[in-house]
Chain A
Amino acid sequence: MKKVLDIMQKRAKQLLGEGIVNRVIGWKTGEFGYDQTPAVFTSAAELSSLVYDSFSAPNLSKYLIEETKKEGKALVFLKPCDTYSFNQLIKEHRIDREKVFVIGVECSGKVDINSLKSRGAVGVIGVEDNGEKVIAHTLYGDMEFAKDDVLLEKCRSCKGKQHMVFDELIIVNPVKEEKNDRFIGVDALDAMTPDERFEFWRGQLLKCIRCNACRNVCPACSCIKCVFDNQNSGVASKASPDTFEEQMYHVIRAFHVAGRCTDCGECTRVCPQDIPLHLLNRKLIKDMNAFYGEYQAGTDTDSRAPLTNYTKEDVEPNVISDKGGDK
């Protein structure tokens, strides 16, 4: 990873120096080595604090909505999964492709600090990742984990190591593609009775504090004014006065991003209450795949998405209700 970072820094400095871009969007480190913040760098000197390692999880694509409204071109570093969001935003005319220089960076999976913590790593003051093992240095001693066990949910169900869009790539050690089934969790829910499933979601959503982190981090949630913030909509709410409202927020959000959600996994990553929001989105993805054929949002910028397209092969509505859609 160090090598990759060196190249990233060098290339960013060059592009800045040549005036091809006037700023760089990347990650900056924090207090404990694992707490990175997306940041804009405008000079070679500032770029010395650019980082890229096992904790560069935040997806930088959404920042480009605001960044491409500014003067000049921005350099952005995107991981493979982030490029899907980038494409989707281009498709939705949210970002101006002309104003971005995309460098795709290799990724072997990002580590979930919460996973380390829930496995007993209390008081983490530094983390080392040697590719196989993750060693957490804590105030109470070191702890070692198999990297596969402590990856973020989005990395455990990685969509692949290919970048869907880039101007340049920085890949030092090509990462092996590994198969995974991201629908296992959805299958388990599908196997439940409707009542069990309702209980499951009620239990999870009851934890929601309506902080909106899931929505605000989501690249598909790019509405200028969200209906839940619009006082005139009649559904604006900052908290859930009852359990119906609690569920409605999430169900509406899931439906609104259906067909546009790239399964980037940011919502699940940021939820302070560890609500498995990806299961909601993946349920819709799974069903859309079944009803309208395999589709992955963000692979390109011009294909029509299943819910905004019509073909004669489209499933009839009764097929959906036969699946329990009217329960």
Chain B
Amino acid sequence: MFKIKKNSLNKLYAAIAEAQTLYIPCNVNGKPNFAVWGEGADVDLASLKTVKSAKEVFFPQCEDIVSFKTKGKEITVIDCRKESEDFVVFGVRACDAKSFEILDKVFLSDPVDTFYKTKREHGTVITLACSRPEESCFCSAFGIDCAEPSGDVATYFSGEYLYWSPKTEKGLNLTNSLKNLLEIANDKDNLALENEQKNIREITKKLPLYGLDLSKWGADDLLEKFNSEKWQELSSACLGCGACTFVCPTCQCYDVRDFDKGNGVQRYRCWDSCMYNDFTMMAHGTPRPTQMQRFRQRFMHKLVYFPSNNGGEFSCVGCGRCVEKCPINMNIVKVIKAFGGEGK
């Protein structure tokens, strides 16, 4: 275990950024989002939730795949794939860190998504324990301990210090490169940290969504859930915007689009949303013509289909972003509860 004074953190960021790109939550035009660190960046490690989740560093909202240049009848195909360079993402919360494991299941299974894979290989994840969990958080329902996040290095704020604990080889390598900035933590520090973690866990138990019960969900009863009358009412106010899907760390769907540049085409992929009416549009039309069906898809996928394909693992980490951002306050928690998953 290492530690660094809070007021020396800028030096730490600078040291990391000297060797590789550093993504860290910053206030950009008034909102916390992951951004590339540079001198003078308005780092915001106090806000619990960035608007967009940390998945963006591995799976960007918009990513070029290939481009075509045309000149008369000639078409040149340009491969846009770049060999990714090493980077660090700092300040990832426990829920977002867990979301990477869920995305891995999708993008790293056969056929492997090489765009994602290179970024995963080159990225070092530094997590940050949540000192002040919020009312919309329910990561504990998925077995996540926000006081002990995973990652290559886990960090924790306590008192004057940020504590630093490498957890993987990547994390150790990074730690070694920063040795001159990090102090070794002593027994007293360890005790202080343990207390801090104990506090966090106590708060977690007081969260309004603590004890949210997922036992009614999973691979079983697929058809019974699918055909339930409840979806109609649950979805009736849904605007069919994509806010819930675009802020979600575990949403993984994307669309492939062509952007007409006048003298060619830029083919890119971008996040898609099952809430949209052209989602999975095919030659014959859309398989989900009503908003009820699209709404149902989002939650059935996260709570039934994904677990049935992935050994029971849900495709939600309880980050609560959708709970905070839905314009009409409909969300996964209300869905879970509507099917008998009452809280404590």
Q: Is the CB of B51 within 8 A of A272?
A: yes
Who on chain B is nearest to A35 by CB?
B329
**Interface presence of B240 (CB below 8 A):** yes
Who on chain A is nearest to B239 by CB?
A216
Q: Is the CB of A269 within 8 A of B327?
A: yes
B2-35 residues at the A interface, CB under 8 angstroms: 28-31, 33
Q: How far is the CA of A124 from the CA of B320 in the complex (A)?
A: 13
Who on chain A is nearest to B236 by CB?
A40
Contact with B along A215-231 (1 / 0, CB 8 A): 11100000000000101
- 19 new A-B pairs (CB below 8 Å) besides A38-B237, A212-B241? A37-B329, A58-B327, A122-B48, A125-B135, A207-B28, A211-B247, A212-B243, A213-B239, A213-B241, A213-B242, A213-B327, A215-B241, A236-B278, A237-B257, A239-B61, A241-B270, A242-B259, A273-B31, A274-B31
Who on chain B is nearest to A205 by CB?
B29
A-B contact pairs, 15 of them (CB 8 A): A32-B136, A32-B208, A37-B237, A63-B237, A125-B208, A139-B134, A209-B243, A211-B242, A216-B239, A217-B241, A231-B281, A238-B242, A241-B268, A266-B327, A273-B31
Who on chain A is nearest to B278 by CB?
A229
Contact with A along B241-275 (1 / 0, CB 8 A): 11101110000000101011000001010111100
Q: Is the CB of A31 within 8 A of B208?
A: yes
How many contacts between A and B, using CB within 8 angstroms?
140
Q: How far is the CA of A20 from the CA of B248 in the complex (A)?
A: 43
Q: Is the CB of A211 within 8 A of B278?
A: no
Q: Is the CB of B334 within 8 A of A212?
A: no
* Secondary structure of the B contact surface, majority rule: loop
**Interface presence of A247 (CB below 8 A):** no
Q: Which residues of B contact A206 (CB under 8 A)?
A: 28-29
Contacts A209-B51, A216-B241, A272-B51; is A241 near B334 (CB within 8 Å)?
Answer: no
* Secondary structure of the A contact surface, majority rule: loop
Q: Which residues of B contact A236 (CB under 8 A)?
A: 257, 278
**Interface presence of A262 (CB below 8 A):** no
Q: Is the CB of B327 within 8 A of A207?
A: no
**Interface presence of B146 (CB below 8 A):** no
Q: How far is the CA of A274 from the CA of B208 in the complex (A)?
A: 26
Q: Is the CB of B247 within 8 A of A209?
A: yes
**Interface presence of B133 (CB below 8 A):** yes
Q: Is the CB of A229 within 8 A of B276?
A: yes
Q: How far is the CA of A138 from the CA of B334 in the complex (A)?
A: 21
Contact partner, A123, options B62, B135, B240, B323, Cβ 8 Å: B135
**Interface presence of B230 (CB below 8 A):** no
Contacts A207-B29, A241-B266, A274-B31; is A217 near B246 (CB within 8 Å)?
Answer: no
Q: Is the CB of A209 within 8 A of B246?
A: yes
Contacts A207-B28, A209-B51, A238-B272; is A216 near B329 (CB within 8 Å)?
Answer: no
**Interface presence of B198 (CB below 8 A):** no
**Interface presence of A210 (CB below 8 A):** yes
Of B30, B33, B52, B203, most A-chain CB atoms within 10 Å: B30
Q: Which residues of A contact B134 (CB under 8 A)?
A: 122-123, 139
